[in-house]
Amino acid sequence: MIQRLIDGIVKKDAPVVVGLDPNLSFIPGFILENARSFVEEGGREIPEYCEKENMAAAEAVWQFNKGIIDAVCDLVPAVKPQVAMYEQFGIPGMIAYRRTVEYSRSKGLIVIGDVKRGDIGSTSEAYARGHLAGKAFDVDFATVNPYLGSDGVKPFLAVCKEYDKGIFVLVKTSNPSSGEFQDVLTGDGRAVYELVGQKVREWGADSMEGVYSNVGAVVGATYPEQARILRRLMPHTFILAPGYGAQGATAADLSEFFDPDGLGAIVNSSRGIIAAYKKEEYGKFGEEGFADAARAASLAMIEDLRGVIHGGRTVWNIGR
Amino acid sequence: MIQRLIDGIVKKDAPVVVGLDPNLSFIPGFILENARSFVEEGGREIPEYCEKENMAAAEAVWQFNKGIIDAVCDLVPAVKPQVAMYEQFGIPGMIAYRRTVEYSRSKGLIVIGDVKRGDIGSTSEAYARGHLAGKAFDVDFATVNPYLGSDGVKPFLAVCKEYDKGIFVLVKTSNPSSGEFQDVLTGDGRAVYELVGQKVREWGADSMEGVYSNVGAVVGATYPEQARILRRLMPHTFILAPGYGAQGATAADLSEFFDPDGLGAIVNSSRGIIAAYKKEEYGKFGEEGFADAARAASLAMIEDLRGVIHGGRTVWNIGR
């Protein structure tokens, strides 16, 4: 699966994933209104345990996502729906998640399910099967939390192998407090995130596809110093880097994330793209033009990152 | 909310929570058969995105759970559904989760949603609202993963305050590999789980209800030594202790978890109760008697734990 992601990145010359985190505050008012009317007028069947309010929110999320997906699917190789933004609306929310995943895949996009699941044994296996085995919520990659250790991650590896899927394990997250536990120095002078990175390397050794493994790592774009250390520690690990744009990371921060040939990482932006129409810079698009604004913001981000991966360095070498 | 849990424990004299982790291999064949026929014969509406296979599995899970809940609801104060076991069956699975939660609450049980969610900022808030705010999957307590630090936990605290709910933060988990990151010694000689425990204490300081906080901790019954340290480090933190029975912990291991008055912890058993009918000890009940076997196993566990909390020590002091 990692090779499919790399092929997409190379083909579109865009190491960019669009985060589909449709917070209701990002969704234009006219979509919220339309969705409410659509549900009120019986446009969707209302199954058991589906409150009308959740139905309307989920419908708005779906209509919004569809606009974004249509606007960016030829520019970027992947999208990353954040399941919490769907789960909060209960059953209709989870239906909207599934609809989003399936529509994205029908448009040729690779889907990274940002689910941050992690448990142990048969429970982790149930999560892995639920999200990666083609029977329920079928994404291509899932994000996984490593706090419980190998017991929690290994069941994902087995399911990934069986279904040709991948995971990204949280190593160093992009948020301000990520250092509270992740940066703590251990007795031998290494930080906790380095121990996790070392394990990610080990977990991934048996899932190689070419140069990279199907076991990737999440490393926040906001932490270039840690990325430099991790890039060396995990030479065959593809990095998913959130934190670009709205969270403050710039293209310059990202140079440490890529290998010399420009591969090795994919950078996420959520709010910066899907809510671009709210920024002064893209204000001319207006609410109605939210999807065009997202497209323009994607193009700007791609240009920005091309400067990093191609600037003075090797261009793509597809035959590597 | 923690006081409601304590009241339940004292009233039923049972610091026990039954884990509703209905792995299909635990469910008697006749229930799986019944559920399949029920779905085939149109006994449940099949909404969008609900494959028949998932519908049948979810129906079996629900019928099984209902049997268990009916059999134990007068004995124990709480149940802990493990959401992964439902999520793996997609939309119908999540409907079965919700049905289980609501039915448990209607029977006077407190519901601990074992969701192990954890993200940052508005994403954590979305999880908290989805699981604790009465609008989607409405449990009384949720389990939370701390790897992302305070940014991930604080949004849960705010929602808990607003809706009188609680959380249990993973501190030292019960599984064999939990030590890989949790036991790592930091520069000052404390283990990572102690740093997390210290934070749990801090996060909970503003959510006290009587002696205990609405911010609890998960500490595996399989690790009594770490529990002794944590019990002292977090004197106002209620502990949810998984790992009793099937995972190997005994009542003797649990004495470190309780305060001298017998409060301070609630012990989970999942497989050991819900799949008791598969054990030689309860074999006489047979498949058809799975619920009676669960009741018998609950009674045995309660007796066992009463020995720990009352043996040579203070009995309940409700007025504390």
DSSP letters, chain A, are: -HHHHHHHHHHHT--EEEEE---GGGS-HHHHHHHHHHHHTT-S---TT--HHHHHHHHHHHHHHHHHHHHHTTT-SEEEEBTHHHHTTHHHHHHHHHHHHHHHHHTT-EEEEEEEE---HHHHHHHHHHHHSSSSS--SEEEE--TT-HHHHHHHHHHHHHHT-EEEEEEE-SSGGGHHHHT-BBTTS-BHHHHHHHHHHHHHTTSEETTEESEEEEE-TT-HHHHHHHHHH-TT--EEE--BGGGSB-TGGGGGGS-TTS-SEEEEESHHHHTGGGSGGGGGGTGGGHHHHHHHHHHHHHHHHHHHHHTTS----TT-
What is the least distance, in Å, from the CA of A271 to any CA of chain B? 11
The answer to whether B312 touches B253, Cβ cutoff 8 Å, is: no
Interface test with B, best of A147, A154, A172, A268 (most B CBs within 10 A): A147
In this predicted structure, which of A89-98, A245-254, B260-269 has the lowest mean pLDDT?
A: A245-254
Which pLDDT does position A42 carry in this prediction? 82
Average pLDDT, chain A: 94
Which pLDDT does position B319 carry in this prediction? 41
Residues of chain A with Cβ-Cβ distance to B45 below 8 Å are: 47-48
Which pLDDT does position B312 carry in this prediction? 47
Residues of chain A with Cβ-Cβ distance to B121 below 8 Å are: 175
Which pLDDT does position A318 carry in this prediction? 46
A123 contacts chain B (CB < 8 A): yes
Which pair of tokens denotes residue B237?
């933190």
Better-predicted residue by pLDDT, B253 or A177: A177
Interface test with B, best of A120, A127, A144, A157 (most B CBs within 10 A): A120
Residues of chain A with Cβ-Cβ distance to B124 below 8 Å are: 84
What is the least distance, in Å, from the CA of B46 to any CA of chain A? 9
Q: Annotated catalytic sites of B, by residue?
A: 116
pLDDT tens column, A163-176: 999 999 999 999 99
pLDDT above 60 for A285: yes
Residues of chain B with Cβ-Cβ distance to A124 below 8 Å are: 84
Which pLDDT does position A49 carry in this prediction? 84
pLDDT tens column, A134-147: 999 999 999 999 99
pLDDT tens column, B48-63: 788 899 999 999 999 9
Average pLDDT, chain B: 94
pLDDT above 60 for A316: no
Asked whether the whole model's pTM tops 0.90, one would answer yes
What CATH number labels A2-310?
3.20.20.70
pLDDT above 90 for A104: yes
What is the least distance, in Å, from the CA of B208 to any CA of chain A? 23
Percent of chain A whose pLDDT exceeds 70:
97
Which pLDDT does position A312 carry in this prediction? 47
Which pLDDT does position B313 carry in this prediction? 52
- The stretches in chain B having pLDDT less than 70 are 312-320
pLDDT grade, residue A310 (50/70/90)? Answer: confident
Report the pLDDT averaged over residues A14-28: 97
Which pLDDT does position B305 carry in this prediction? 94
